[in-house]
Chains A and B, each alone.
Chain A
Amino acid sequence: DAKTTQPPSMDCAEGRAANLPCNHSTISGNEYVYWYRQIHSQGPQYIIHGLKNNETNEMASLIITEDRKSSTLILPHATLRDTAVYYCIVRRLNNAGNMLTFGGGTRLMVKP
């Protein structure tokens, strides 16, 4: 699976949009981009995933560049409860049993 690079930490003001970048310059055509987050002491929580088109759900939006070498997770109105470690993971899908490879992620601190 392609390697990802994320900033180790970011701050965001409560109520503002949080934009979390991810670099995956070695991504290949059959690899999806997944975003998870881990709130302290809890299991990783799935947020969103995409292949090449931008995606939006009730939690977030995912913007993938046209060359697919980077992406941005957007939390439109961050709250204190969004403070967590956010993981960008690239996953090859030749079968449904493929593991997720977690990196260090970005520690997002939402401040009042």
Chain B
Amino acid sequence: EPEVTQTPSHQVTQMGQEVILRCVPISNHLYFYWYRQILGQKVEFLVSFYNNEISEKSEIFDDQFSVERPDGSNFTLKIRSTKLEDSAMYFCASSEGAPNQPQHFGDGTRLSIL
């Protein structure tokens, strides 16, 4: 069964450094998402992306965050200058184009900011 894959599984970065998290969505999917989960807290929506532009974003997704689909297969989340509070699990998800089709999630990247 096709799945969303994320790399790396664990990223350790110094505060203030830039980090790029990578995702390969399911190949025929058209919508892409990033969520995060701080340890012990709820899964929170960050951003959705369709047709090479952001379709929806949350208050968390400020100017420090950006997303890109650099080629036909990858979908990336960049955090420009990381803060301690960015430490979390980051989940990528994708869905087909039909409105009621579910989002399918990857197993996440654990980001640790030192």
Q: Verify A96–B42 contact, CB threshold 8 A.
A: no
Within 8 A of A (CB), among B81-108: 91, 93, 95-108
- Given A95-B55, A99-B48: A44 and B100 interface contact (C-beta under 8 Å): no
Question: Once the chains bind, are A42 and B108 in contact (CB under 8 Å)?
Answer: yes
Q: Which residues on A sit within 8 Å (CB–CB) of B42?
A: 102-104
Asked if B12 CB lies within 8 Å of chain A CBs, one says no
Complex Cα distance A77/B90, Å? 32
B interface residues, tally (CB under 8 Å): 30
Please measure, in the bound complex, the distance between the C-alpha atom of A43 and the C-alpha atom of B36, giving whole angstroms: 10
Cα A103 to Cα B100 in complex, Å, equals: 20
**Which residues of chain A are within 8 angstroms of B102 by Cβ–Cβ distance?**
34, 46, 49
The bracket for how many chain A residues form the interface is 20 to 34
Determine the residue in chain B with the shortest Cβ distance to A45. Answer: B105
CA distance A44 to B35 in the complex (A): 10
B43 contacts partner chain A, Cβ-Cβ < 8 Å:
yes
Cα distance, A42 to B9, chains bound together (Å) = 11
Is B56's CB under 8 angstroms from A100's CB? no
CB proximity of A84 to chain B, nearest CB, Å:
13
- Known interface pairs A97-B48, A99-B58; A43-B100 also in contact (CB < 8 Å): no
Instruction: Flag if A93 contacts B45 (CB, 8 Å).
Output: no
Digit string of A96-112 for contact with B (CB within 8 Å is 1, else 0)? 11111111100000000
Bound-complex Cα distance A93 to B98 (A): 10
| A43 lies within 8 A of B107 (CB) | yes
B33 on the interface (CB 8 Å rule)? yes
12 contacts between A and B (CB under 8 A): A43-B91, A43-B93, A43-B106, A43-B107, A44-B91, A46-B102, A93-B100, A95-B55, A97-B31, A97-B48, A98-B48, A100-B103
Chain B residues near A (Cβ < 8 Å): 4, 30-31, 33, 35, 42-45, 48, 50, 55-56, 58, 91, 93, 95-108
| Residue positions of A touching B, CB distance < 8 A | 32, 34, 38, 42-46, 49, 51, 87, 93-104
